[in-house]
Structures are given as structure tokens and as C-alpha cells.
Amino acid sequence: MALKKLIAITALGFLSQSCLAVTVDISARASHPIPKLLWGQMFEAGPALYSQSGDGGLYAELLQNRAFQQVTPGTTAALSAWQAVNNGNITVIQESTPLSAALPNALSFSVPAGSSGQVGFANTGFYGIKVTAGTSYKASFYYRFPTTTSFRGNALVQLQTNAGTVLGSATVVLSGSQTSWQQITTTIVPTVTASSTANLFVISLDGEAASGQSINFALLSLFPPTFKDRPNGMRIDIAEALQEMGPSFFRFPGGNNLEGQTVATRWKWNDTIGPLTDRPGRMGDWGYINTDGLGLLEYLEWCEDLEMEPIMAVWAGYDLGGTSVAANQLQPYIQEATDQINFVIGDSSTTGGRYPTHNLCSCEQMFPGRKRVALGRTEPFVLNYVEIGNEDFFADVSYIYRWQEFVGNLSATFPQIRFIATSYTSGPVLTPAPQHYDVHVYETPTWFAQNSFYYDDFERNGTTYFEGEYAAVSTNPNDIFGTPADGRLTYPTMQSSAGEAAFMTGLERNGDIVFSAAYAPLLNHISGTQWTPNLISFDSGAVYRSSSYYVQKLFSVNRGDEYLPSTLPNQNGTLFWSVVRETSTNSIIIKIANTIGTSAPLTFNLPFNTVASSGTVQVLTGAATRSNTPTAPNDIVPIARSITTGKRLDYTAPGYSVSVLTVVAS
């Protein structure tokens, strides 16, 4: 099957690329289809390595530490993101009457005797809260009085600036006779748009009327309108930025965040489903607590909303602390993975393991498919790919038996599903032989340009590859994960983006064995950054698309459906291209990455009977070190213009550029 080199024609003009035009002959006959899932997204729920990507990011909840999950009552840390207003007395307690088994903690609030004015408490959001006039914010909380009192009075539920200016307000009634948990829901429609995101969510009572009262609060929440109006849904501006990329798959839930620092703190699918009161949250892998409000069902619905296929990972017996579960202890985790898959695709009769909170009958067994139906989703979801663990190239030897036992069992139960190995082909020999490997690479821009031919020499033997994480992260080959002072990038630069594009032309050329690829990390809250660079940055107010974002988008929305062989670029050069066709529109799409600062003239020969006299070019270009940043978010954006064409197409790729030429020809 290694026909590429035969079809290839050696590049011309190698030594004098900058002055002599490079001539590229294009074949009218496709060599392979462009895989349907070639371009997509890798998502790691956060806060995690990938800095506040779920909570405080894609997941639209505006309150941080909303349910005091996984905190130690009585500590200052337990009050993270909460503050007193006008001497309101607040502390996190372990509730004697918890709201639910999953949420044992509550906020104890008391109004000191002799108070006056509005006394209460506030949440600072995820590094701020964006407040827009006329927008409906859905606020909710649970409350109860620990002991009955005769109090009955108003509580104000408000959005305020940090300086205390009220932006929007709602009034609810609290009753001292309410000693069991009661949920209050209300809507705040601000009358003023805040000039910054330095705002607070505040609940307060009249200090005189409520003097001496003590009230417990649990699971407080504030949602702006969400993407497609989904309850418990996604933040609209981030969702739209992701949607614009036209992704065809979504890899979740990680990444390192799947693994857990310990076996006990691994990502457990069953802790992320059902009412929010059933979700305990978990300590994520990088010292932050995940609410798991963005849970398995939300991921699956999100995939459907963006017409993406899930590439879902199951926990596979290895944690980030380095513990491998012994071979004879794996059974419960294989059951857990089976149940997770059955929740996604099973019917109502698939029985499962033991899940105390989720049993639907008295028989001590959970029916994962029935649980999904009970949560309102009758139809199974599409699920073709399941990844076994994450980055098991770090755990070489134990992966031999873990792979064997997981895939042995899962493929017997789910023969239609394809399983992806997360070790490397250079690692231990796995049985059964993996059909798919997930390859990760974080390197320099130069490495990416020099490895545009990475897959060309791979054996064509049925094994295919998922480039599950990649990014040019540093200009220093000796210190890839160092600091900005050592070359680590803070934001993608035009040089790093052009390097990635060069590599991506190679992924298209090798689309017969590379079936998917995703840049990583996807999302970063600029106030919670733990890793740089990221594809999309944001703060509580706005979204910032990087130059690499535009590269991903240009490749994805111009992906075509078949690959047309062409004169190969010089493997050791600096200029790379690939050609695809979109058969439904007869469009020939040429992608060009120029990875140095000198412009490069090219001549393409289009061997078609009819070629339109004009086409379009979309160009992303800028100086090597230029980046889109929060202060200059649109420094590097694709510019489209028309170009004159014909059977011969002349084009000069600017220095440090990614160009997409589209010409109709048949």
C-alpha cells in the first residue's frame, strides 16, 4: 500500500526556493479519502491541566465553589470565591442534615445581633462575572433554618459591582419555619451593563429584621443564557468559537484529568450524571476541584449540538501518581468501563455494576441504559471510538495486561466499537494488536515543519493513528516545557502556527493512516493559566482566538473529501503544501504553509478540463513572534481575497503564512 513515493514527483527548485518559483503538479485522481473525523477537538475538563476549561470555561455556571464540593469544612479554603458582605458571618460546615449524600457541606450564614443595612455574602465568580443589561440570569439556591424561628422576610439576590453598585436585583422570601431544604429559583435581569467583569453575586437580608438569624445555604448557582438554551449548558461565546471550527470529533474527558492522582480520585462517569445534587465533584489532577456539572450526558449532548462524534476515554487501571491496578484486581474497573459505554449506547435492559445512588430497582444492580432513558434520553448516542486510558506510554509494562483485559472484555461486549491504544507502536507489544494508536507531540515550530513527513514511511498494514494532542509550544528544542524566558510560548505565534500547518499538510497526505487529529490544549482562562500556549483563551468577559485556532479552522472548514497527490514538497525545506478536492462543489483546495520569513513563489499545474478563471485565497500571515493576545486579539486573522487562475495558478506565499487556495475545476 506504500504507493505515495511512486506517485510522488520530486520537488523542483529546492536550493533556490526563494527566487525561483516551485512548480507543483497536481494529480486529478484521488489517492485516498480524507477521513471524516480528521479535524476535531481534544477537551480536558477543568480546572485541570487545561486551565479552567470546563468549570469557569465552556460550562456556563458563573459561581465558583457553588456547592462546597470536596472542601474541608471550617477552613478558609472552603470559602474560596465567597466573601462576607457588611459583616455577614459565613463559614462552611458539614451539614447535620445534608442536602444529599453527594453534597455533605453547606454554607452557614448568620446575621450578627445589632446589624443594620443589607447583610449577606457574595461570590466572586471565576475571576469575575460578566453582567449585561437585559440578559436573564437564572439564580438558584437551597436554604434551610437549622432551628425553627419566627423570622419571615425578604432576601435580595443581586448582581453588584465590587464597589457595591447594584446592577440587577430580585427579591425572594425566606421563612424561619423552613428547616428542611427548600430550593429557591429566581431570575435577575440587570438594568445596567457593567463596565468591567469585577462584579459579585450577592445574597443579603435586612440586618435589623434578620438580626441574630442563622441560615444554611447549599448548591448556589447562577447561569446566563446558554448555547442552544440547554439547561446546565455551555457558555455561548466559547461554544460559538468551538462551533466555528467545524470540528468532527470531540475527545473527552481527558487527558490527565481522566486518570486521577490516585485510583480513588479517578474520573468516575457515574459521579457526573443525574441531578446536580447527585454529583459529588472530585479533586482534579492539578489541585483544583471539578464540579462535574459538565458530566457525561452534557458531553454527549454537546457532541450532538456541534455534530461531532465522541472519542470517549475509559479509565484503564492507571493513575497519575503511577499506581497500576494489579491484573487480578481489574474486574470492577472493567465493569465500570462497560457500564460507562452502556450508559452511552445501551438499551434499557443492560445491567451493570453496583452504584448506590443510581440504582433504579431494589435489585442492587444498575441498568446504565435505563438510567440514560430515565434522564430523558431514549435514543442511544453514536459511539464508534473508545480510548483505553491516557498516555499509557508512561506506564509501558502494566499496559500489556491492562490493555489485554480491558480490550479483551470490552470488544467481546461491544464488537462494533474501535478501541484506541495510548501507548506507542515503539512500546510493548500488545495483544490483541491495537487497530489504532493515540500519538501526542509537544515540540518546537521547527520540529513540526521538519516532521511534515512523519507518517509517510509508516507501514500500511491496517493500523491507523489518532494525533490526539499536538502543539508547537516552545522555540527551544532543549527546553520544550520550560518558561517563557527559555522559549516557552505564552500564546501561539505566527511561527508556531505555520509549523503546525506544515505538519498538518502531512496529516492530510497520510490521511489513509491518520484518521483524526486535534491541537491541545483547547481552552484557557487567562486568570487561571496552568499551561501555555492554548488554542483559545478567554476571561469572564471575552474569547480570544489564537493564530493556531485560525489554522485549525482553515484546515477543518476546508477539509475536502479526497486527497489529490501532488509534487512532494522538499522534506528538508521550509515550504509545505497539500491538495484536496471537495467533490460536491468540484473545489480544488490547496493548503500552503511557509515556515520562514521569506516569501515563496509557487506555480500549480491544474490538470483539469475546465478551470474557473478566478478563485479565492485565505491568508493568515504575520511576523514570526506575533500572537493574538487579550490586548491585541485580532492581530493575526485570515484575510480572504480573489485570485486569478486557470490551468496554471501562480501564487506567492508570504513569509510566515498559511494560505488556503480554492479553485473550482473539473
Ligand X SMILES: *[C@@H]1O[C@H](CO)[C@@H](O)[C@H](O)[C@H]1NC(C)=O
CB of 430 to ligand X, least distance (A): 8
Site membership for ligand X, residue 52 (CB under 6 A):
no
CB of 94 to ligand X, least distance (A): 12
The only residue of 571, 598, 616, 629 in contact with ligand X, by rule CB under 6 A: 571
Side-chain-side CA neighbours of 6 within 13 Å: the count stands at 4
Q: How far apart are alpha carbons 605 and 566 in whole angstroms?
A: 9
CA distances from 566 to 27, 107, 456, 563 (A): 6, 65, 14, 9
Give the range of 147-155, 176-184, 266-274, 293-301 binding ligand X by CB under 6 A: 266-274
CB of 357 to ligand X, least distance (A): 3
Which is nearer to ligand X, 350 or 524 (by Cβ)? 350
Which is nearer to ligand X, 188 or 273 (by Cβ)? 273
Cell matching residue 438: 493515540
373 burial (CB, 10 Å; 0-12 / 13-18 / 19+) is middle
Site membership for ligand X, residue 162 (CB under 6 A):
no
Which is nearer to ligand X, 340 or 627 (by Cβ)? 340
| φ/ψ of residue 368, rounded to 5 | -60, -40
Site membership for ligand X, residue 355 (CB under 6 A):
yes
Q: Are strands 514-519 and 464-472 parallel, antiparallel or unpaired?
A: parallel
Site membership for ligand X, residue 211 (CB under 6 A):
no
CB of 362 to ligand X, least distance (A): 16
| φ/ψ of residue 544, rounded to 5 | -125, 115
Site membership for ligand X, residue 356 (CB under 6 A):
yes
Who's near 323: CB < 8 A, 6+ residues apart?
A: 262, 263
CB of 355 to ligand X, least distance (A): 4
CB of 410 to ligand X, least distance (A): 9
The only residue of 89, 135, 169, 490 in contact with ligand X, by rule CB under 6 A: 89
Neighbours of 443 (CB within 10 A): 20
Print the binding letters for residues 276-315 with ligand X: x by CB under 6 A, - otherwise: --x-------------------------------------
CB of 358 to ligand X, least distance (A): 5
Residue in 126, 127, 97, 93 with CA at minimum distance from that of residue 107: 93
The only residue of 387, 405, 443, 469 in contact with ligand X, by rule CB under 6 A: 405
Q: Where are the alpha helices (DSSP H) in 480-632?
A: 494-509, 547-557
Q: How far apart are alpha carbons 533 and 311 in whole angstroms?
A: 23
Contact 558, 662 (CB under 8 A): yes
* CA triple 261-264-266, angle to 5 deg: 60
Neighbours of 626 (CB within 10 A): 18
Site membership for ligand X, residue 357 (CB under 6 A):
yes
Which is nearer to ligand X, 376 or 462 (by Cβ)? 462
Which is nearer to ligand X, 59 or 453 (by Cβ)? 453
Which strands make up the sheet holding 587-594, listed edge to edge?
A: 32-33, 562-563, 575-582, 587-594, 657-664, 614-621, 639-644
Site membership for ligand X, residue 581 (CB under 6 A):
no
CB of 248 to ligand X, least distance (A): 25
CB of 87 to ligand X, least distance (A): 8
Residue with cell 450577592: 202
98 burial (CB, 10 Å; 0-12 / 13-18 / 19+) is middle
CB of 373 to ligand X, least distance (A): 18
Site membership for ligand X, residue 463 (CB under 6 A):
yes
Site membership for ligand X, residue 114 (CB under 6 A):
no
Site membership for ligand X, residue 112 (CB under 6 A):
yes
The only residue of 27, 409, 490, 527 in contact with ligand X, by rule CB under 6 A: 409
Cell matching residue 535: 488554542
Q: Which residue is nearest to ligand X (CB)?
A: 408
Site membership for ligand X, residue 566 (CB under 6 A):
no
Give all strands (DSSP E) within 162-288, no chain letters: 166-175, 182-188, 199-206, 214-223, 249-252, 282-283
Cell matching residue 123: 461570590
CB of 439 to ligand X, least distance (A): 12
Site membership for ligand X, residue 331 (CB under 6 A):
yes
How many residues touch ligand X under the rule CB under 6 A: the total is 30
CB of 562 to ligand X, least distance (A): 24
Give the range of 439-447, 454-462, 588-596, 629-637 binding ligand X by CB under 6 A: 454-462
The only residue of 134, 153, 322, 408 in contact with ligand X, by rule CB under 6 A: 408
Which is nearer to ligand X, 115 or 199 (by Cβ)? 115
Site membership for ligand X, residue 489 (CB under 6 A):
no
Site membership for ligand X, residue 271 (CB under 6 A):
yes
> At 409, which helix (H) or strand (E)?
helix 396-413
Helix axes 296-305, 331-345, angle to 10 degrees: 40
Side-chain-side CA neighbours of 112 within 13 Å: the count stands at 12
Residue with cell 474520573: 267
CB of 193 to ligand X, least distance (A): 36
Q: How far apart are alpha carbons 214 and 110 in whole angstroms?
A: 4
> At 304, which helix (H) or strand (E)?
helix 296-305
CA distances from 148 to 98, 100, 175 (A): 17, 21, 9
The only residue of 231, 376, 415, 462 in contact with ligand X, by rule CB under 6 A: 462
Site membership for ligand X, residue 461 (CB under 6 A):
yes
Give the range of 75-83, 328-336, 513-521, 549-557 binding ligand X by CB under 6 A: 328-336
Cell matching residue 456: 509517510
CA distances from 28 to 4, 10, 25, 602, 607 (A): 15, 18, 10, 19, 6
Site membership for ligand X, residue 110 (CB under 6 A):
yes
The only residue of 218, 334, 658, 661 in contact with ligand X, by rule CB under 6 A: 334
Site membership for ligand X, residue 108 (CB under 6 A):
yes
The only residue of 298, 309, 336, 467 in contact with ligand X, by rule CB under 6 A: 336
| φ/ψ of residue 440, rounded to 5 | -115, 140
Give the range of 27-35, 344-352, 458-466, 616-624 binding ligand X by CB under 6 A: 458-466
Binding site for ligand X (CB under 6 A): 89, 91, 102, 108, 110, 112, 268, 270-271, 278, 330-331, 334, 336, 355-358, 404-405, 408-409, 425, 433, 459, 461-463, 571-572
